[in-house]
Structure 1
Amino acid sequence: MPRPKSEIPSYRKHSSGQARVTINGRDYLLGPHGTQASKREYDRLIAEYLGSGRSSSYGTEPEAYLVGHLILDYLQHAKDYYGTGVTSELHRIKSGCKPLKSLYATQRAVDFGPIQFKAVRQAFIDNDQCRTGINAQMKRLARMFKWAAGEGKLPAAVYDTLRLIPSLRRGRTEAKESKPVKPVPADVVAATLAKLNPVVADMVRVQFLTCCRPGELCKLTPAMIDRTGDVWVATLDDHKTAHHGHTRAIFIGPKCQEILTGYLDRDPTERLFRPCDAISMKRAKAKANRTTPMNQGNRAGYSENSRKGKRAKRAPGIAYRTCEYGQAVRRAAKQAGVEHWAPNQLRHSRATEIRKLFGLEGSQVIAGHAKADVTQVYAERDSERAIEIARKAG
């Protein structure tokens, strides 16, 4: 059997009589073997190596440090820092690094400057990305060079130069503009609900009533919900702005409580909304509507696909992901023959409705925004009120 690789490079004796340690294939001479000075030098190098996260580029001089090395190191940092969840920032960083890797992976990172930065940005434009999305990705790439400077992998001057490059401005670039997210009309939601399975239909109703984000809705468990008061409060530890130290509470009123009651009789840590429940309901409905006697035809759970030897690629999940939730809504909207819409639009619709009834502050606290200017984006202004004011005052 091959000898297992040690996690920490060992203190060894060189043929010259000096102590040495080998890190990433490079030998470091530490001084006379067995001396306290050589052991202190060994401890220092190991501490630095571990502090780098066992980086494969540890010991590489800035002049030999390539953009490819930087991408690998930063992705490992992002994996440790952001995690690997479905909504993790790691996935957006990976997407942003693709054109950088394609163009400059073998180039020295210390030579990366404004010309190279703009070439990567142009690659995003040529790939038909929207202006705001491109600006967000370029900020991520600049942040990567900032991180490298903070880790001592690159001179700070590289990042200092990149951060001086202005973002793309509206009307002054060939990059297309993203379409603003608008509230979804109530009749469109009603038509879509008729085509959704019962679980996803309830998800749509709960999201609208609570004004929560799709990701927050998918993460809800019975343990998160405090049901002691007449208004239930769900507290989330993992949410969009948790890294800023913000808390997120979802307030659940009587109408929403009535919907959720049927989902609370389960393990406290299980998700409220699960694909496996939707499949179970679908099969139960099919069984109830069955006209062929049970002793004839296909047995329960037996389908045409299984008769042909086909099997589902995977079993129904125990938690909806945001992408699956959105896909279900889009598919139902198509079946209903109404315009395409996404779950995020429900948040806009509810925030707009609450703003009309309770003002901007009311919309802000329900939507969970730390700043009112963010709420302005989600809560569309009541144009009817503006028209009425203009009619009377103008």
Structure 2
Amino acid sequence: MSRIRRQSPPSYCHHKASGQAVVRLHGKDHYLGPYGSAKSHTEYARIIAEWRILQAEQKKQLASSPSSAEFKNLTIAEVMLRYREFASSYYSKNGIPTKEFVEMKHALRPLRELYGDTFARDFGPLKLKAIRQQMIEVNDLSRGVINNRVKRIKRFFKWAVGEELVPSSVSNALRDVDGLRRGRTSAREAPPVKPVEDIWVDLVLPHLSPQVAALVQVQRLTGCRPGEVVLLRACDIDRSGDVWIYEPQEHKNQWREQSRIIPLGPKAQAILNPYLVLPEKVLKIQFLRLFQGGRR
């Protein structure tokens, strides 16, 4: 935080061109009323009182902010320990760690292994590139995975800056490390993930329980995520039109305050109909049987 430049109150002045009393704060003139009037002195006193409060708050913040010496005493491993406390609650849903929490652990592991004893304030772009090179040569990760993990390392340091655990210069420097680009790195390219062909799905369906087979078919028809179809409830489906509309109670982008709409056409409706006539509680048990250890 910048130091406080002015220690004495700004002066009550006379603006001769207008005949007004004026006081200058932070490079801006505040007109108070006719110069010498009681109104102008009252307004001046109010502004100076607010100025004194602001000065006191700034002094308090300066006194509580970490010094350079404190920054030097924190190793990356120590910062990680504090970050874990934050991440375990932030990246969780209904008390269960999300996939992002697991991905953050994978991303930060080489940082801890290579630079855990390094002072956090001394971490910079070259060290980040060294971690990235290990991901290429030792871990044999694909370019896309490496770029995502490097972004998570940057996010970790950005959080640390916000908590005043490391100086902002660390996070600012890491932003200048560009991601790996296709054809301009020795990192391997992962083949694109393609959908399973229908012939293989059809071969598997007869070996599944009726409930799981229904889930698979609905997912294939709608393209929804497994977690969305497993949580399907009759009360979440609008059946007023020819095409039903399913709005999952929970979904991947819920934290972004985005809605999720999944249309259900005639084929999906035919698959779901036998289950929708059941009471809500029974429907949920039917669909979650496999995941509750009830498969026989």
What TM-score, normalized to structure 2? Answer: 0.68
- Alpha-carbon shift at residue 251 of structure 1 (Å): 1.5
Q: Which residue of 2 aligns with 1:114?
A: 125
Q: Secondary structure at the match of 1:233?
A: strand
Alignment of 1:346-385 (within 5 A): none
- Alpha-carbon shift at residue 280 of structure 1 (Å): 5.8
Match of 1:249 among 261, 264, 273: 261
Q: Separation in 1 of the partners of 2:291 and 2:192? A: 34
Structure 1 position 68 matched with structure 2 position 77:
yes
Whether contact under 8 Å (1:199, 1:277) holds in the other structure is no
Structure number with higher relative contact order (C-alpha < 8 Å, ≥ 6 residues apart): 1
Identify if the C-alpha distance between structure 1 residues 105 and 208 changes in structure 2 by more than 3 Å, giving closer, same or farther.
same
Q: Which residue of 1 aligns with 2:287?
A: 273
Identify if the C-alpha distance between structure 1 residues 269 and 61 changes in structure 2 by more than 3 Å, giving closer, same or farther.
farther
Q: Separation in 1 of the partners of 2:290 and 2:103? A: 29
Q: Which residue of 2 aligns with 1:208?
A: 220
Q: Secondary structure at the match of 2:246?
A: strand
- Alpha-carbon shift at residue 271 of structure 1 (Å): 6.2
Match of 1:103 among 98, 114, 117: 114
Root-mean-square deviation (Å): 3.1
Q: Separation in 1 of the partners of 2:120 and 2:250? A: 35
- Alpha-carbon shift at residue 157 of structure 1 (Å): 0.6
Q: Which residue of 1 aligns with 2:190?
A: 178
What TM-score, normalized to structure 1? Answer: 0.52
Q: Separation in 1 of the partners of 2:258 and 2:101? A: 21
Q: Separation in 1 of the partners of 2:295 and 2:111? A: 47
- Alpha-carbon shift at residue 188 of structure 1 (Å): 2.1
Whether contact under 8 Å (1:225, 1:234) holds in the other structure is yes
Q: Separation in 2 of the partners of 1:243 and 1:278? A: 26
Identify if the C-alpha distance between structure 1 residues 227 and 242 changes in structure 2 by more than 3 Å, giving closer, same or farther.
same
Kindly tell me the number of residue pairs found equivalent between the two proteins.
231
Q: Which residue of 2 aligns with 1:82?
A: 91
Deviations, residues 78-116 of structure 1 (Å, cap 9, x unaligned): 222221546431111111111111111121100111221
Q: Secondary structure at the match of 2:261?
A: strand
- Alpha-carbon shift at residue 179 of structure 1 (Å): 0.9
Q: Separation in 1 of the partners of 2:291 and 2:253? A: 30
- Alpha-carbon shift at residue 164 of structure 1 (Å): 0.2
Q: Separation in 1 of the partners of 2:104 and 2:291? A: 34
Q: Separation in 2 of the partners of 1:108 and 1:95? A: 21
Q: Secondary structure at the match of 1:273?
A: helix
Identify if the C-alpha distance between structure 1 residues 205 and 278 changes in structure 2 by more than 3 Å, giving closer, same or farther.
farther
Identify if the C-alpha distance between structure 1 residues 259 and 139 changes in structure 2 by more than 3 Å, giving closer, same or farther.
same
- Alpha-carbon shift at residue 121 of structure 1 (Å): 1.4
Identify if the C-alpha distance between structure 1 residues 237 and 169 changes in structure 2 by more than 3 Å, giving closer, same or farther.
same
Q: Separation in 1 of the partners of 2:139 and 2:180? A: 15
Q: Separation in 2 of the partners of 1:227 and 1:148? A: 48
Structure 1 position 169 matched with structure 2 position 181:
yes
Q: Which residue of 2 aligns with 1:197?
A: 209
- Alpha-carbon shift at residue 269 of structure 1 (Å): 9.1
The residue type paired with residue 170 of structure 1 is R
Deviations, residues 236-260 of structure 1 (Å, cap 9, x unaligned): 2432222322110112222212222
- Alpha-carbon shift at residue 189 of structure 1 (Å): 1.9
Q: Separation in 2 of the partners of 1:258 and 1:277? A: 24
Q: Separation in 2 of the partners of 1:186 and 1:192? A: 10
Whether contact under 8 Å (2:104, 2:152) holds in the other structure is yes
Whether contact under 8 Å (1:235, 1:249) holds in the other structure is yes
Q: Separation in 2 of the partners of 1:268 and 1:115? A: 58
Whether contact under 8 Å (1:99, 1:120) holds in the other structure is yes
The residue type paired with residue 79 of structure 2 is L
Alignment of 1:1-394 (within 5 A): 61-83=70-92, 85=96, 87-125=98-136, 126-264=138-276, 265=278, 266-267=280-281, 270=284, 273-276=287-290, 282=296
Deviations, residues 333-381 of structure 1 (Å, cap 9, x unaligned): xxxxxxxxxxxxxxxxxxxxxxxxxxxxxxxxxxxxxxxxxxxxxxxxx
Whether contact under 8 Å (1:232, 1:253) holds in the other structure is yes
